[in-house]
Structure 1
Amino acid sequence: METEVAYELLSALRVYKDGRVERLRGTATVPPLLDEKTGVQSKDLAISPDSAVSARLYVPRAALGSPLRLPVLVYFHGGRFINYSAWSPTYHNYLNTLVAEANVVAVSVDYRRAPEHPLPVAYDDSWIALKWVAAHSAGNGPEEWLNSHANLEKVFLAGDSAGANIVHNMSIRLGEEKPEGIEVPGAIMVHPYFRGNEPLPLETTEPEKRSLVERSWNIVRKTDIGCDDPLINPTMDPRLSGLGCNRVLICVAEKDVLRHRGWHYKDVLSKSGWAGVAEVMDAPGEDHAFHLFNPTCDSAVNLMKKMVSFIKEGK
């Protein structure tokens, strides 16, 4: 007899009563390789066998034979903390292009996912990855690509959706306990996965979409606070003014149900006493994560250009 379903999350997840988890999207993977189109080389490695944290590293092929040190981009993939991975073709292809355009070394973090590993596991894994990057500051870390090619005085954090949420939470933690040996001048949050128990004035439409976001959160984070948890509602976090970077780029999309939270985050952050500079880039006519699924459209090209210029502006 077929195992009964315990619960489902539309288009994302099915959990059976026997504990089996079936992911309904983002399960495809591709191996690391030399991408001939962009000239970017990638490889996979285990960051911490004890916690099962892994990553895919990307380096422009031309840099492998050069003494030049490049900025580092630490990237966190999206997917509601449930779907996709660092090995997903969606993210692999996007990182190849971003690395080539920005001329950076990238570390795409493969954190453990809910519901098998509910939050804060993904945050803990991501912090382990950041500390692992910092361990290369003296040039004698475990990964030669970082020892030889990384400029750890220019480490940028970036991610989309749930990954952008991770970027925020890593930035909060950097403000409290920055690993020795790295400088993080900037963070990029694309369509950040933020929410609150009470809707903002402009969030009165699309109740079904808002409900789906809230239900997703309640699956990945087992608390009674709901969406006023500071992990998803930064306005509830008294540590916001201590955000551990100098610049933040928040990218939103006009049709995205999360759009107003991105603008609200910018306003609250700017008024918190934080000494940095935050800016918002809007994408008219676009929806959530459009740049990943239609990377050659004009809006996606403009977003890529903005991210690249943000990185190249450095400190």
Structure 2
Amino acid sequence: MNSEMHSSSDEDEVFFDLRPLFRIYKDGRIDRLSGNDIVPPSIDSQTGVSSKDVVIVPETGVGARLFLPKIKNSGEKLPLLVYIHGGGFCVETPFSSAYHHYVSSLVAEAKVVAVSINYRRAPENPLPIAYDDSWAVLQWIASHSNRNGTESWLNQHADFRRVFMVGDSAGANIVHNVALRAVETPLNDGVQIVGLGMVHPYFHGEEPLGPEATDEEKRENVDIMWLVACPSTSGCDDPRVNPATCPNLARLPCKRVLVFLAGLDLVRDGGEFYYETLKKSGWNGELDLMDVEGEFHIFHLSNPNSQKALAMKARLVSFLNQDCQELPQHLLRSSL
């Protein structure tokens, strides 16, 4: 967080105020108001999950936090979770308490290896930089598929036939766009993206579904958020944010997509728009939805021990293990 105190004249120059997340000034400065704490990597005494940090692109500092569950069989190969954090493209990191503890809990409960990507953030690093950084990390991950990469945890324990990408909010948007790059530039042989988990995903459009279309203040916030993150954009019909204009949507290179919605979410309409558009696109994978009533955006991070947050995590854990055991039919589509 920028700790400087701003004068009243600075306050007059505010371009976009999205407290409690961030505040951006007309000269490009940003006050990051959340996600600034750093949890060091460790071995969790309760779950046995180990974590460590790696720098993957030294020139830019792009890297990741890796997580490994407690291993009983040294030769065991586990599903690989690639997690991309949210925060409006502007705040949070894999090292903040919210994301460290959440990803660690997924690793413990789903028994997966995880790579939580540390991409460069807007507005200093506008899109497509976050897409490029995340793609670079995904390629680095794929370079381990022959078991001779630079990271021993991936060489020894990752099952590259069971790769899942999960992101929340802006992170879900990044997940979608990075996965689509694999259509034009396939990953190494043996690397298979099985599923995408889209948690309260950030998408938009000129004619979105739901009340956003008539709520001018809500729509303006969503519009500006995209402009701040991607000043070079062509607008709300940019295919990176509007799935209806995405030319390769029907070719999304995975077997399954699970979308999570929350009833009181600011960007719920965009998430529903994504679900409905993918459903109609001709993509032939399995598309599932979990809709949680009466909850706000990323409530599972702010209140992770609530009944609904735990139910949501259980659904995601099941999703990450679908190739190990199939889900019962009654879990394929649900709402809370």
Task: Name the TM-score, length of structure 2 as normaliser.
Answer: 0.88
1:215 pairs with one of 224, 227, 247: 224
Q: Aligned AA for 1:48?
A: V
Give yes or no for contact 2:79–2:158 (8 Å, CA) kept in 1.
yes
Q: C-alpha displacement at 1:18, in angstroms?
A: 6.4
Which residue identity is paired with 1:175? V
- 2:152 — aligned with what? 144
Distance in 2 between residues matched to 1:167 and 1:302, nearest whole Å: 23
| Equivalent residue runs for 1:254-273 within 5 Å | 254-273=263-282
Give the residue type in structure 1 aligned to 2:80.
V
Aligned twin of 1:129: 137
Deviations 1:209-247 (A, max 9, x none): 332121111111013522211111111111111111111
Residue aligned with 1:128, SS: helix
Q: Counterpart of 1:308? A: 317
Root mean square deviation, CA, Å: 1.9
2:298 is the alignment partner of 1:298 = no
The alignment-based identity, stated in percent, is: 48
Q: Secondary structure at the match of 1:124?
A: helix
Shift of 1:314: 2.1
Aligned positions of 1:144-293 closer than 5 A: 144-181=152-189, 182-204=191-213, 206-223=215-232, 225-293=234-302
Asked if 1 retains the 8 angstrom alpha-carbon contact of 2:208 and 2:270, the reply is no
Residues 58 and 106 of structure 1 are in contact (CA less than 8 Å); yes or no, is this contact kept in structure 2?
yes
Q: In structure 2, the residue corresponding to 1:27 is in which secondary structure?
A: coil
- What stretches of structure 1 of length at least 5 have no aligned partner? none
Could you report, residue by residue, the CA deviation over 1:28-69 in whole angstroms, capped at 9, with x for unpaired residues?
111111111222100001011133211000001235x62101
Kept after mapping to 2: 8 A contact 1:27/1:84: yes
> For residues 137 and 227 of structure 1, what CA distance do their matches in structure 2 show?
37
How big is the shift at 1:106?
Answer: 0.2
- Relative distance call for 1:285 and 1:201 in structure 2 (3 A) is closer
> How many residues end up aligned between the 2 structures?
314
Which amino acid in structure 2 is aligned with residue 211 of structure 1?
Answer: E
Task: Work out the CA distance in 2 between the residues paired with 1:113 and 1:70.
Answer: 30
Q: CA offsets per residue over residues 107-162 of structure 1, 9 Å max, x none?
A: 00000000000000000000001000001011110101111111111110001000
Distance 1:85 1:279 in 2: 28
Structure 2 residues not aligned, in runs of 5+: 1-5, 325-336
Cα distance between partner residues in 1 of 2:27 and 2:231:
19
Residue 206 (structure 1) shift: 4.2
Instruction: Check whether the contact 2:207–2:213 (CA below 8 A) recurs between aligned residues.
Output: no
1:4 pairs, out of 10, 28, 34, with 10
Matched with 1:105 is 113
Residue 46 (1) aligns with residue 66 (2): no
Following the alignment from structure 2 to structure 1, what is the Cα–Cα distance between the partners of residues 128 and 287?
A: 26
- 1:205 CA displacement: 5.1
Q: Does the Cα contact within 8 Å between 1:176 and 1:242 map onto a contact in 2? A: no
TM-score of the pair, normalised by structure 1: 0.94
What do the CA deviations read for 1:153-186 (whole angstroms, capped 9, x no partner)? 1110001000111111112112222211311111
Q: 1:83 is paired with a residue of what secondary structure?
A: coil
Partner of 1:101: helix, strand, or coil? helix
Call closer, same or farther: CA 1:106–1:204 in 2, change over 3 Å. Answer: same
Could you tell me which amino acid in structure 2 is paired with residue 148 of structure 1?
Answer: Q
The code of the aligned residue for 2:309 comes to A
Shift, 1:198, TM fit:
3.1
SS at match of 1:169: helix
